[in-house]
Amino acid sequence: MSDEFTRPLQAAQAYAIEYLEQVADQPVYPGEEALAGLEAFEEPLPPHGSADHEILGMLHRNGSPATVATMGSRYFGFVVGGSLPVTVAANWIATAWDQSPSSFMNSPTGVKLEEVAGRWLREILQLPDHTGIGMTTGATMANFTGLAAARHALLERAGWNVEEQGLYGAPEVKVVVSEEVHVTVEKALSMLGFGKKRVTRVPTDANGAMLAEELPELDALTLVCTQAGNVNSGAIDPIGAICDKAQAAGAWVHVDGAFGLWGRLLARRADDFIGIEKADSLATDAHKWLNTPYDCGIVMTRHPHDLHMAMATVAPYFKAEESVAPKDMVPEFSRRARGVEVWAALRSLGHAGVKSMIGRCCDHAQTFAEGLRAIGFEVLNDVVLNQVVATIGTPDELADIRALVEASGECWFGPTVWKGRPAIRISVSSWRTSDEDVERSLSAIAAAKNAIMGD
Ligand SMILES: Cc1ncc(COP(=O)(O)O)c(C=O)c1O
């Protein structure tokens, strides 16, 4: 074999392994020196090319130190999973294949793995057998795609073909969201022409779950956007009860389950998910709680025909029992073969392994909540999943504590505002986080709190 591929790939492998072997020990958020190293990339467009080893060396020297250590075990910001080792390796193979699974003709392997991963996802998330599945960049686009299927279905029933005629002059769809709707659902609604402001907002309970009894009157032109997993509190809307009301009226129910949908695997949360299989469309991520590399979102619907009608690039040809080319089930035509890593994650963990990873993260969140209370924090949410929202002192003291923890390099979590109160948010989403990591992080928080507020 020629050196063309061997040399750069071997160099990349060596750098990546070196990175991954130390990432749990590097400062979780890069310090000033590491960030200053990024200036090296501020070059003019080179008139001529340079050697592969030089390019890869620069990535490693200047890029690696300024990464956020989400692949370590003490990153608790936003809702960011790590990547399981086998999924990183599978991703390398998939990159070497460079497949676009737009259709079987384009990539038999890419489409097969996506189909099998889709079947396994249906099973593990306990969704009906005929659920249609598409893989997108993330939950933002999975929400967009599910809502596009909803838009098609609701307007078609009203005698309007939105794909052909657009929204000009169309019957108005009433969109219902909760007061706690995620910003990316609002973005998806705006991209679909529904408008962020033209929505009815339903109040929530103290933990941020929609109050089903506060739903407005629903009809066959209503789209209800629910959520499984509030980005702050982890709260799960009463989706089964909402579906019952919506279905009686002929409305469509969408679930944004970017991370929280995985809570369905836990016996302790079984009650919260009763009836979720009745939802018309759902969105989740693999790159969050399934711990696959970026990027991978998943849209699911029990109306695959409507999804196809919204996404088809050819004359629609959907027939039950026949698979449809992925390009006609999601917005993207060309894209990476995301099913490879989803398949690898599910194949390596199995049902029991995924369940135990999700359960472990939730246990760690409980430990965080108890530990934070013990050092004087007020925990503001009911810790139902992997999210903890807590506060202490004045807003300035809280910000100083967070900054001191960040500077310590020990762990990282973000600021948030919960029910009007400035807070910190801890999200435990990585397969790699251990009991020791939680203890070490709590010690760092306690030290920062003592430094700012005294013992
Ligand atoms: C509840 C919720 N919905 C949607 C999203 C958007 O997901 P993505 O970043 O994968 O597009 C997030 C991201 O944190 C989320 O927490």
DSSP letter assigned to residue 84 = -
Cα separation, 54 vs 338, whole angstroms: 30
Non-local (6+) Cβ contacts of 178 within 8 A are: 201, 202, 203, 204, 208, 209, 210, 225, 226, 227, 237
Cα separation, 85 vs 286, whole angstroms: 14
81 touches ligand 1 (CB under 6 Å): no
Residue nearest to atom 14 of ligand 1 (CA): 79
pLDDT over 80 at 323, yes or no: no
Tell me how far CA of residue 418 lies from CA of 183, 442, 449, in angstroms: 15, 21, 20
Residue nearest to atom 16 of ligand 1 (CA): 231
- Model confidence over 254-290: pLDDT tens digits? 999 999 999 999 999 999 999 999 999 999 999 999 9
Cα separation, 190 vs 124, whole angstroms: 32
pLDDT at 369: 98
Question: What are the structure tokens assigned to 354, written together?
Answer: 């995924």
Cα separation, 115 vs 111, whole angstroms: 6
Cα separation, 344 vs 348, whole angstroms: 6
How many Cα atoms are found within 13 Å in the side-chain-facing hemisphere of 179?
15
Cα dihedral 245/125/235/150 (nearest 10): -50
Q: What are phi and psi of 378, to 5 degrees?
A: -100, 125
140 touches ligand 1 (CB under 6 Å): yes
287 CA to middle of ligand 1, Å?
10
139 CA to middle of ligand 1, Å?
5
Please tell me whether residue 33 adopts helix, strand or coil conformation.
Answer: helix
Other CB atoms within 10 Å distance of the CB of residue 8: 15
pLDDT band at 319 (very low <50, low <70, confident <90, very high): low
Beta-strand runs (E) in 179-323: 199-202, 222-227, 252-256, 281-285, 297-301
pLDDT at 68: 98
**Residue given tokens 């497949």 in the structure block:** 99
The CATH 3.40.640.10 portion of the chain extends over 99-344
Cα separation, 152 vs 372, whole angstroms: 47
Question: What are the structure tokens assigned to 417, written together?
Answer: 């505002």
Residue type, 209: A
Contact 72, 28 (CB under 8 A): yes
Among residues 254, 257, 318, 305, the alpha carbon closest in space to that of 124 is found at 257
Q: Distance between alpha carbon 264 and the CA centroid of its chain, in Å?
A: 15
Among residues 160, 190, 162, 164, the alpha carbon closest in space to that of 175 is found at 190
CATH fold label, 99-344: Aspartate Aminotransferase; domain 2 (3.40.640)
184 CA to middle of ligand 1, Å?
7
pLDDT over 80 at 315, yes or no: no
Q: Distance between alpha carbon 204 and the CA centroid of its chain, in Å?
A: 22
pLDDT over 70 at 316, yes or no: no
pLDDT band at 320 (very low <50, low <70, confident <90, very high): low
258 touches ligand 1 (CB under 6 Å): yes
Mean pLDDT for all residues in the chain: 96
Cα separation, 163 vs 295, whole angstroms: 27
Q: Taking each helix axis from N to C terminus, what angle separates 3-22 and 85-97, rounded to the nearest 10 degrees?
A: 160
For the segment 136-156, the average pLDDT, to the nearest whole number, is: 98
pLDDT over 80 at 242, yes or no: yes
365 CA to middle of ligand 1, Å?
19
pLDDT over 90 at 163, yes or no: yes
Element (H, E) at 415: strand 414-418
pLDDT at 314: 77
Provide the b/e sequence for 322-361 (b: ≥16 CB within 10 Å). Answer: eebbbbbbbbbeebbbbbbbbbbbbeebeeeebbebbbbb
Cα separation, 441 vs 437, whole angstroms: 6
Residue whose CB lies within 8 A of the most ligand 1 atoms, among 140, 181, 428, for a mutation test:
140
Residue whose CB lies within 8 A of the most ligand 1 atoms, among 226, 231, 384, for a mutation test:
231
297 touches ligand 1 (CB under 6 Å): yes
pLDDT over 70 at 317, yes or no: no
- Model confidence over 340-388: pLDDT tens digits? 999 999 999 999 999 999 999 999 999 999 999 999 999 999 999 999 9
Residue nearest to atom 12 of ligand 1 (CA): 258
For the segment 47-65, the average pLDDT, to the nearest whole number, is: 97
Other CB atoms within 10 Å distance of the CB of residue 62: 16
